[in-house]
């Protein structure tokens, strides 16, 4: 069982779930609820360029292979789910949070060809602290369940949207593995798509790609939480390997013709 700790800062724990549920009149909770309602109402999930490129590549291949790093539950605002189900893709879904991983398995139950790895991708094989939002708080926007990061400041910076967000941050230890070790473990020698959503750690994953031995046909990653120098360096790295780039709503699509 994972030992999750509730934190306000790295040194000061807050009481457990009994005090996590704010009173209905709590202004911060009401603000969070309004954000949740607006977010659910206005969210636009589809990206036409991504849909077109993925549809074209998937239709042209009878054995499309992908790796999704930061797969969450495989359903919530997932660009890839429809393609995985429609085209029966094979691949590896990587998700370090046990609760999300359990939902991921349930959401893809009966779909053959998928491997679910309960770990995170990092520079070394080790256990590391991961920061995320407690699942038990119903009034928070759905995207809060996607906030899981090695970087506490990435989670904290959403306080401008959810004022009392910091009350619900939990810290837990997760197992990590380098990307190269994951590829070796599953003998991956061809990769049509590498999708990365790690809340600020995406460039660290992309830097681990050995383009000389394995060049993904498509790299999809979230640039939203990358520091500006890292975002620029990541784009330069991908362009230097012949990729064209397109971006939308905090995500970048790298592809070649």
With beta carbons less than 8 A apart as the criterion, state whether 7 and 14 touch.
Answer: yes
3-state secondary structure of 119: coil
Please give the Cα distance from 209 to 194 (Å, whole number): 10
Domain 48-114+191-255, second-level architecture = 3-Layer(aba) Sandwich (3.40)
Please give the Cα distance from 83 to 80 (Å, whole number): 5
With beta carbons less than 8 A apart as the criterion, state whether 216 and 163 touch.
Answer: no
With beta carbons less than 8 A apart as the criterion, state whether 158 and 147 touch.
Answer: yes
Task: Write down the domain spans for the chain.
Answer: 48-114+191-255
Please give the Cα distance from 191 to 238 (Å, whole number): 16
Which residue shows structure tokens 């306080």?
159
Instruction: Count CB neighbours of 197 within 10 A.
Output: 24
Tokens standing for 36?
């949740």
3-state secondary structure of 91: strand
Tokens standing for 81?
């789910």
Please give the Cα distance from 100 to 171 (Å, whole number): 15
- Provide the β-strand partners of residue 129: 173
pLDDT tens digit at each of 257 positions of the chain: 334 554 544 444 433 333 454 444 455 555 544 544 444 545 556 889 999 999 999 999 999 999 999 999 999 889 999 999 999 999 999 999 999 999 999 999 999 999 999 999 999 999 999 999 988 777 788 778 778 999 999 999 988 778 888 889 999 999 999 999 999 999 999 999 999 999 999 999 999 999 999 999 999 999 999 999 999 999 999 999 999 999 998 999 999 87
- Look up the pTM and report it: 0.84
3-state secondary structure of 10: coil
Backbone angles phi, psi at 178, to 5 degrees: -65, 155
């Amino acid at each position: 069982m994972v030992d999750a700790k509730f934190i306000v800062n790295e040194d000061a724990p807050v009481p457990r779930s009994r005090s996590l549920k704010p009173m209905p009149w709590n202004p911060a909770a009401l603000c969070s609820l309004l954000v949740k309602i607006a977010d659910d109402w206005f969210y636009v999930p589809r990206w036409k360029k991504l849909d077109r490129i993925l549809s074209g590549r998937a239709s042209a291949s009878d054995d499309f292979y992908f790796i999704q790093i930061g797969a969450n539950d495989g359903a919530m605002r997932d660009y890839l789910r429809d393609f995985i189900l429609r085209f029966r893709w094979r691949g590896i879904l990587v998700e370090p949070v046990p609760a999300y991983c359990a939902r991921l398995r349930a959401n893809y139950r009966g779909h053959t060809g998928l491997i679910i790895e309960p770990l995170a991708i990092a520079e070394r094989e080790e256990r590391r602290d991961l920061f995320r939002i407690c699942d038990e708080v119903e009034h928070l926007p759905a995207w809060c369940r996607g906030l899981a990061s090695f970087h506490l400041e990435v989670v904290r910076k959403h306080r401008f949207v959810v004022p009392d967000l910091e009350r619900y941050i939990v810290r837990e230890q997760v197992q990590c593995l380098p990307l190269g070790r994951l590829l070796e473990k599953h003998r991956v020698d061809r990769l049509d798509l590498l999708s990365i959503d790690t809340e600020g750690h995406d460039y660290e994953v992309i830097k681990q790609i050995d383009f000389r031995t394995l060049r993904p046909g498509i790299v999809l990653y979230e640039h939203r939480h990358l520091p500006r120098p890292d975002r620029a360096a990541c784009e330069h790295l991908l362009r230097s390997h012949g990729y064209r780039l397109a971006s939308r709503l905090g995500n970048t699509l790298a592809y070649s013709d």
